[in-house]
Amino acid sequence: MTRLVLQAFTALAASLLAGAASAQAPVAAPGSPPPMVADPIATEIGKKPAAVGERVFSPSAISNLLQQTNPAATSLEPSHDAAAATNAKAKLTPEGMQKVRFAPPSGNAKTVDPVVLKAEILLDRAHAPPGVIDGKLGGNVTKALAVFEQTHGLPVDGKLSQAVWDALGGDNAAPVLGTYEITKEDVAGPFYPDLPSDYAELAKLPDSGYHGPAEMFGERFHMDKRFLQALNPAADLGVAGTKIIVAEVESLPLVSKIARIDVDKAKGQVQAYDAQNNLIVAYPATIGSEELPSPSGSYTVKGVAWHPVYSYDPKKNFQQGSNTERLTLPAGPNNPVGAVFIALSKPTYGIHGTPDPSKIDKTRSHGCVRLTNWNAQELAHIVRFGIPVNFIDKPGEATTEAAAAPAQK
């Protein structure tokens, strides 16, 4: 299975991860790693929202995935016309995706497009996260393209152009799909197919684990779990030794030091900047709602809780269902705050993961800021205690001055 991380960077990655692990120890000096937060209380998910924006892969869609066409726009350049013809014959396999060349995507957010799929994986590798990888040209992909353009000195329009494709290394990139052999450890579980949504019932379980292997592999390879299943229609994901097709998303770790975080409500993004005001990375995010909005103003990073439990208090947060008593929900990827919680100086608020990565920036939260679990974990490894976190209410609102101001308490 092709991997992007070269042996020359192994020691660097190991040292960075070791440094991140040491960030769990409590410290007080600004600029130092954040202390651990033992028990975050977050205004977050109540009842699971209705399936807004769900993309369901029907049986016919599953069969079409194995021989998917790329309907390109009319009046293509000759080279693009030839590429579109080639792409139309390319199967969504490791070998087939290597043959995919640039042609303008159709713009149909409901159609799996091999050009978009390849771009999504390359964007994810380049630290311009598109959310869950599903081969569809949606809003999160458009935002990721704009981030990549901004960080690579290209005109920013959020469109997949030949120039962006070339900058991503589209034609010459390492394989974007690979094969993975499922291990005994992968299928050992425990899994919870009937994981309850009611907090009182969830509080009785030992952990908030995955529903099943499809959800686990989807998160591991940053893929929509339905899309992963569609790519592997005959595979039994619960059997060790089974080989499956997955996205090759492994990348070099971020090494730039961030000086501030902007939570841009208009863009639906969490943006990290360095001391020179350069954008380092931007993640698609779900940010509050009209009923329970995220805060305004500037705060600071107070700490990080890895593998957090969730303390539910209806008097401080919200009432979920008929639950009127305080509850402690066990840790796990399907915990209401996901795999990690970055606490802010405003009590009960933070930036964290989610049990529903496919719904990022498609539904609302209960005041906090949700990222996919893998994006939240990456951000948690690079934040430092005392870094300003600015909530941006309006498009174009200045943040450099706010970053220098003391956090509101």
Number of domains in the chain: 1
pLDDT band at 251, cuts 50/70/90? confident
| pLDDT of the residue at 97 | 94
- DSSP for residue 392: E
CA distance 86 to 74: 16
CA distance 228 to 207: 25
- Whole domain around residue 41: which residue ranges? 7-52+253-404
Report whether pLDDT(400) > 60. Answer: no
| pLDDT of the residue at 317 | 72
Structure tokens at 263: 């939570």
Report whether pLDDT(76) > 80. Answer: no
Q: Is residue 394 part of a domain?
A: yes
Q: Is residue 282 part of a domain?
A: yes
Report whether pLDDT(56) > 50. Answer: no
Report whether pLDDT(9) > 70. Answer: no
Which residues, in sequence order, are bridge partners of residue 35? none
Tens digit of each residue's pLDDT (9 = 90 or more) over 123-142: 999 999 999 999 999 999 99
Report whether pLDDT(392) > 50. Answer: yes
Report whether pLDDT(2) > 70. Answer: no
CA distance 339 to 332: 6
Q: For 268-315, give the DSSP string.
A: TEEEEE-TTS-EEEEEE-EE--SSSPPP-EEEEEEEEEES--EEE-TT
The answer to whether 381 and 127 are in contact (CB under 8 A) is no
Alpha-carbon dihedral 203, 205, 207, 209, rounded to 10 degrees:
-110
**Selected residue with higher pLDDT from 242 and 317:** 242
CA 105 to mean position of chain CA atoms: 22
Tens digit of each residue's pLDDT (9 = 90 or more) over 289-309: 665 677 899 999 999 999 999
Averaged over 361-371, what is the pLDDT? Answer: 69
Percent of the chain with pLDDT over 90: 60
pTM of the model as a whole: 0.78
CA distance 94 to 260: 39
**Average predicted confidence (pLDDT) for the chain:** 80
Report whether pLDDT(164) > 90. Answer: yes
The answer to whether 260 and 343 are in contact (CB under 8 A) is no
**Selected residue with higher pLDDT from 138 and 320:** 138
pLDDT band at 40, cuts 50/70/90? very low
| pLDDT of the residue at 313 | 86
pLDDT band at 399, cuts 50/70/90? low
Q: Is residue 399 part of a domain?
A: yes
CB atoms within 10 A of CB 383: 21
Q: Please identify which residue in the block is written with the tokens 């159609």.
A: 111
| pLDDT of the residue at 82 | 76
Residue 13: CA atoms inside 13 Å, Cβ hemisphere, count?
12
pLDDT band at 37, cuts 50/70/90? very low
**Selected residue with higher pLDDT from 394 and 310:** 310
Buried/exposed code over 123-152 (b: 16+ C-beta within 10 A; e: otherwise): bbbbbbbbbbbbbbbbbbbbbbbbbbbbbe
What is each CA distance from 398 to 43, 130, 223, 295, 393, in whole angstroms? 27, 25, 34, 17, 10
| pLDDT of the residue at 27 | 34
Which residues, in sequence order, are bridge partners of residue 297? 391
Q: Specify the amino acid at residue 334.
A: N
Report whether pLDDT(28) > 90. Answer: no
Q: Is residue 338 part of a domain?
A: yes
CA distance 66 to 345: 49
Q: Is residue 349 part of a domain?
A: yes
Q: Is residue 245 part of a domain?
A: no
Averaged over 158-180, what is the pLDDT? Answer: 96
Q: What are phi and psi of 305, to 5 degrees?
A: -110, 115
pLDDT band at 50, cuts 50/70/90? very low
Neighbour-count burial of 113, counting CB atoms closer than 10 A to its CB (0-12 exposed, 13-18 middle, 19+ buried) = buried
CA distance 4 to 387: 31
CATH of the domain at 379: 2.40.440.10
Q: Is residue 332 part of a domain?
A: yes
Report whether pLDDT(17) > 70. Answer: no
Q: Is residue 248 part of a domain?
A: no
Neighbour-count burial of 235, counting CB atoms closer than 10 A to its CB (0-12 exposed, 13-18 middle, 19+ buried) = middle
Report whether pLDDT(61) > 60. Answer: no
| pLDDT of the residue at 101 | 93
